[in-house]
A and B are shown apart, each in its own frame.
Chain A
Amino acid sequence: MTALSLPRPTRRAAFGKIVLNEARLTWRGPQGLVGGLALPVLLLAIFSLISPFRRPAADLGGLTPLDVYVPILIVLGLALLALYNLPTPLATYRELGILRRLSTTPVPPSWLLAAQGIVNLCVAVIMVIIVLAESIALGAPAPKNLAGFAVAVLLAIVGLFPIGLLIASVAKTGSSVGVIGRVVFFPLIFLAGLWWPRELMPGALQAVSTASPLGATVQAIQASAQGQFPPAAPLLVLAAYAVVFGLLARRFFRWE
C-alpha cells in the first residue's frame, strides 16, 4: 500500500469513494442492517414488554433480566456484523472477480477490506448507541463507567472483526459465508448467554464462556455497566482473538 504512486489527494478521494459505495451497498443490501442493527433493537423492545424481565431477580444479583440482556443484545448485534455483514460482501467480491479487477487499477484491493471494516464499524457504533438509548428509555441504568464501556465495545469489535475476515478467507462464495457464519455464530452466542445468562451458568461453562470472544465481551460490558473498568481477563481474551485471527486472516485471505 505504501508503494502507491498516486498523489495523496487522489488517494484520499479514491478511498472516500470506495467507502461511500460500500456504505450505499450496506444501506441497500437486503440483510445488511436487519441482523446487525434492527434485530437487537427489536429484541430489546420485545423483552421490555415481558413483565418478569423488568423485576429485579435475586439470582442475577438484584439486576432485572432486562439489565442483563442489554450487553447480550449489544453482543448479538456485534457478532452478526462481524460474522455475516463483514465477510459476505468480501467473499462475494472475490467470487465476482471484483478484487481481481481492482488489483489492475492503481488502487489496491485491500482498500475494499478497509472500507468494509469502516462501514461495519460505523454501523456497530450506531447500533450500540441506539440500543443504549433504548435501554435507558426503558428504565435500565446507563453504564456507570462510560470509558470502560467504550473500551469494551471497541475491543470487542477489534476482536470479532478478524474472525469475520478469516471466514471471508475460507468461504468460497458469498453464500457459503452464511453457512460458516451460522456454524460459528450459534455456539458463540450461546456462550454469550443469549439463552442462559452467564450468571446462571455452572462454573466450568462460565470459564469457557469467559474464554470465548462473545462471552468475554459480555463480561467486559457488564462490568462497565456496573461502574467498574472492565477486568483484564476479558480484555486480554479479546486482544488475543484480534491478534491470532488477524494473523490467520492475513495468512489465508485470497484475492482471487
Chain B
Amino acid sequence: MEFKSVVGWRRSIRWFDPWREPEREKIQSILEAVYRAPRVLEVDFLHLGVVYRDRLSHEEMQTLKTPTTTAQLDMAPVYIFFFADVQALEEACRGQNFRELMRVGVLNRSHGWSEEFVTNTAAAYLESVRDAEARVPLRLPAPGGEGSPMLVSRETLRLARTAIGIAQAYALLAAVEEGLGAQLSGVSVAAARGILGFPPTWVPSSPMLLGYRAESREAGGQRPREPFEEDFFELRYGHPFYREPAVVEQLKAAGMIQEPALFPWRMEEIRGLARKFGLPD
C-alpha cells in the first residue's frame, strides 16, 4: 500500500474476529518493520514479545485486564508487547555501536567521529544521560519482591519511552499494511511480568492488540483531533504553523486524511457487532 494510505487507514481497532489468528508471516513482517526503525542515540533499547491469546489460561487473561482494556483483549488473537531495556544504555556507554557505524561508513570523520570522539564525547554524553540527577524507581521491584525497585534517571526513561514509541508507530502501520487491525491498549504490568517473565530492567508499555478486524475498515471514521495550530509551531512557540488548505486537499486525495467520525451507520454497526459477539448492547 502507498504510505499515505497506510497512515490514513490506521485506526484503533477494538473489534476482532477472535477465531482468526493472523498468519505468522504477517506477524514477522511487523517485527521486521520495527527491526528497521531508527535507534535512539544508537542504543539497542528495544525488545518485543509476541503472545498468542489461545496459549494463555483464562486466569492469565483476566489478570491482564484493566478498566480501559476489556473485551478487546478477549477478541484479539495476538498481543505484541513493547519493552525498552534501560540496561542497554549501560552497554551503549562502551561505544561499540558508534564504532560499528564508523566502520560501515555511517558516522564519519566529516562529522567529527573518531575513536577519541566516541570515547571522550559520544559515550560521555550517554553516561550523562544515565547518571542524570533526577531519578525514579522503575515501576516494579525485582521478582519475588526482594529489595527496592531499581532507580533510573528520568533522562534514561525519556530515551527509552521514545524508543518504544518509535517501535509502536512502525508496528501499527505495518499491521495496517498487512491487512490487520491493531490497537495499543494498556494491560496490567504486574500480570504481564508474571506471564512473560521479562527482566526488571525492561520498561513496559501498552501492548498492541492484533487481529483481523470484525468491524469495518472505516471503524466509524477517522478520529477527531484538536486544531492543527494547537500542536505545531513555526520559528518559535506561540507562532502557529499555517495549515495550507491545498496540502490538506492533496492529503485527502492521497487517502491520508479521510472522512471523520461519526459515520451515520456507526452505531448500527456497533449494535450488530455486539449481537455477533454476545456483548452488551
Q: Do A and B come from one complex?
A: no
Write the residues of chain A forming the contact surface with B, with a CB cutoff of 8 angstroms: none
| B interface residues, Cβ below 8 angstroms from A | none
